[in-house]
Structure 1
Amino acid sequence: MRILAIALLVLAGCSKEGGEDGNEATPGVPSAGQELTLMGLYEGEGAGPTNQMCIIEKGGVHHFGLVVWGSGMHSCSGTGTARREGGRLRLRMAGDETCTIDATISDKTITLPAAIPTGCAYYCGTRASLANARFTQKGTTERDAIRAKDLVGESLCMPG
């Protein structure tokens, strides 16, 4: 038993956080020069509470959830699939109305376009819009992603 405990301590001492360059990194947040992973928690400014988006991977497919706040506590919310194509992120809502948004993704920021497809209005309250919503990645793990909350305080992204 003592040998097992010593072996575990040696292995723990050999592992390190941070990039291969030896720089320490904040767990769950990519450091400068690291490639952005889609998975994680994204947040942005809104007219009410913080806008949130989460992205997780299930079976090789990225799934997202988002809430964007407008005035008077109106909001846009939805879930669906996300696919990265270079500097673009295609968000396809899963619901009763067709809504596919071609956002831009640069470094750790996702920006929705000014012109949102008409079908996307279905996912928004009267005084809310997805247009120009901007989200910055705050964490890159599934654990970070499930911290994003929907309109009633439940997780936007459920682990797979």
Structure 2
Amino acid sequence: MNLLLISCQLILTVVFLVSAIFKVRDIDTFAGRVRPALPSRVARHSYSVGVLVVFLEFATVVLLLFVPYVGFLESAVLLIAFTVHLVRVIRSGVQVPCGCAGSSEAPTSRVHVVRNLLLLVMAVTGSSLSALAVGHLQLNHLVLLGPATIIGLGILYLQELTDLLKGGILL
């Protein structure tokens, strides 16, 4: 149970941290990718929405590391909001890159929705387990950091990996 909790915690931490870093590197591009699916009265404030998203992702990282239960809950709320946004983009028919990891050029697709649902399962699992667990950074965290980073990046870039495998010999 403890390893599952730590795995969920570190995978989500990696996903939100990498995502926030890439978004903040080019906030204007990210804001432009958010704009098409926003309601018209909010779309003109897409830059502010982009800054808010980056702030919330960095806050989620801090919470996941220091107040895991709250971090998992915030992760779940953000993932639900992001998934609703992705579904709106897909339904609109507008071919716009997801922007989930900032600079990705992959068009928004159902793979992004599936990825977010997997992350949402981790957030719900983590919040359930963290309600039962007590403790801070331990040796287990350091041992699982490498695999959690690989898994988190794999999930974050699921669309790109899918495209890579389709073009190769594996799919």
User: By percentage of residues, which structure has more strand?
Assistant: 1
TM-score band by shorter chain is: under 0.3
Question: How does the TM-score come out when normalised to structure 2?
Answer: 0.22
Name the structure, 1 or 2, with higher relative contact order (CA <8 Å, separation 6+): 2
Using structure 1 for the length normalisation, give the TM-score: 0.23
Higher radius of gyration, 1 or 2 = 1
